[in-house]
Amino acid sequence: MADRSTVTVRPARSVRGLVRIPGDKSISHRYAMLAAIAEGTSRFHNFSAALDCYSTLGCVRAVGGEWKRADDGAIEVQGRGPRLSAPAERLDCGNSGSTMRMLSGILAGQHFESEMFGDESLSRRPMARIMAPLSQMGARIGARDGGRPPLKIRGGSLKAIHYMPEVASAQVKSCVLFAGLFAEGETIVEEPIRTRDHSELALRAFGAEVGRTGNIARIRGGQKLKAIEAHVPGDLSSAAFFLCAAALFPDSQVTLPGILMNPTRARLLDILILMGLKISVAQLEEHHGELIGAIEARGGTWRGAVISGADTAALIDEIPVLAATAPYTEDGLEVRDAKELRVKESDRIAAVATSLRKMGAEVEEFRDGLRIPGRQRLHGAELDSFGDHRIAMAFAITALRAEGETTIHGADAAGVSYPAFFEELQSVTE
């Protein structure tokens, strides 16, 4: 390894060992935000190490939710109740779309004006998807070019809506449900495809009543939240890199204790099992509605898959690593219905196709996905992370089975979700 922004990955013979994956990013964001508007001090063990979650904590502090790291390592957030304080400065969301989109829902219910901005990548991402429902609820919200950050929100009294988003997005659902807490009446979100339900579970953990039937979630305005003490499960989307690494070598074996098993996220495990990875899960427990289990994975054959429709939505964050390792499968991988990948931290369809081609792979790119034939031999190459954490980590895994070394520039992007990733990867590769 050179400096942190350029990393060289050498081919490996196998992947073996135990990795303690940091706390889930999605859950950590939600806990930090809800803790700020709860009554009392919340404590979170195994809070995410992701820089994105520190962006959320920074914004939370700027609106009055003081936090600190306690002696036992837990993050403690002091709740302010539903009324936050006006920030002295603009709120810096860094690289984090989750921070901007979900916090908007809470800021829309506040009687002050705030402005949120982000880095270059976040400044390109679409915000119209949350601006539309929040405006319908009565917030005044403005952005650049009709929907790119920075976002200016003039919050106030909100009214409940029945919202049917066009895109399947947990961030949009969460934004509307959080705003619903401040609205008069019952807010309903009806999703086209069911997305991850961490917000519904977190709201319940903090004491709110949230109704659920199929793809419909409902919340009554005016409910008070109470502080909680919680353990954040290990992030399954970060675990995905080690699971795909294990799949590349028949004699590999990785143990990942304390991983999130929430059924709205765990479709990844079903797909990996279908593709041939041997997975067993033990020590299942539940914490505040979230399932946790210890994963043990062993390599075997590595077949292909077709991922489309609801599977694509359920695996949206893991598709980069599945696609980046697909040339090593027996039958290849086809991904469809994934045009959302084009508006993530980078255009992930283009980033995967470009990087795979640099390593000598054949790839077909569609507007909404990719087709990657199997049984390909790749060579090491000089790659770029495109400033995207998941691209940096995905291609470190691809590099493990390439011929020759791979250099990844901008690899420090991994810190956005997993700062210790490269050290952990090195510790389990042989």
Binding residues vs ligand S3P (CB under 6 A): 26, 98, 169-171, 174, 196, 316-317, 340
Beta bridge partners of 159: 184
- Tell me the catalytic residues: 317
Contact status, residue 98 vs residue 53, Cβ threshold 8 Å: no
Residue number with CB closer to ligand S3P (203 or 402): 203
* Type of residue numbered 319: I
Checking DSSP bridges between strand 364-366 and strand 333-335, what pairing results, if any? unpaired
What whole-number distance in Å separates Cα of residue 221 and Cα of residue 297? 44
DSSP 301-338: ----EEE-HHHHHHTTTTHHHHHHHGGGSSS-EEE-S-
Give per-residue burial for 409-425: e unless 16+ CB within 10 Å, then b.
ebbbbbbbbbbbbbebb
What whole-number distance in Å separates Cα of residue 275 and Cα of residue 305? 7
The three-class DSSP label of residue 195 is coil
Q: How far is the CB of 430 from ligand S3P (least distance, A)?
A: 31
Contact status, residue 26 vs residue 196, Cβ threshold 8 Å: yes
CA angle 108, 38, 198 (to 5 degrees): 75
Residue number with CB closer to ligand S3P (346 or 406): 346
Give per-residue burial for 381-400: e unless 16+ CB within 10 Å, then b.
bebbbbbbbbbbbbbbbbbb
DSSP assignment, residue 74? -
The three-class DSSP label of residue 353 is helix
What whole-number distance in Å separates Cα of residue 302 and Cα of residue 390? 21
Residue 65's nearest CA partner among 44, 41, 29, 93 is 41
Beta bridge partners of 383: 408
Q: Which token pair is 286?
A: 């539940």
Q: Which residues contact 415 (CB under 8 A, 6 or more apart)?
A: 50, 51, 389
356 phi/psi in degrees, rounded to 5: -65, -40
Residue number with CB closer to ligand S3P (15 or 311): 311
Residue number with CB closer to ligand S3P (28 or 78): 28
What whole-number distance in Å separates Cα of residue 267 and Cα of residue 269? 5
Question: Which strands form 290-298's sheet, in the order they lie side by side?
Answer: 16-18, 253-260, 290-298, 278-287
* Type of residue numbered 360: G
Residue 156's nearest CA partner among 187, 104, 110 is 110
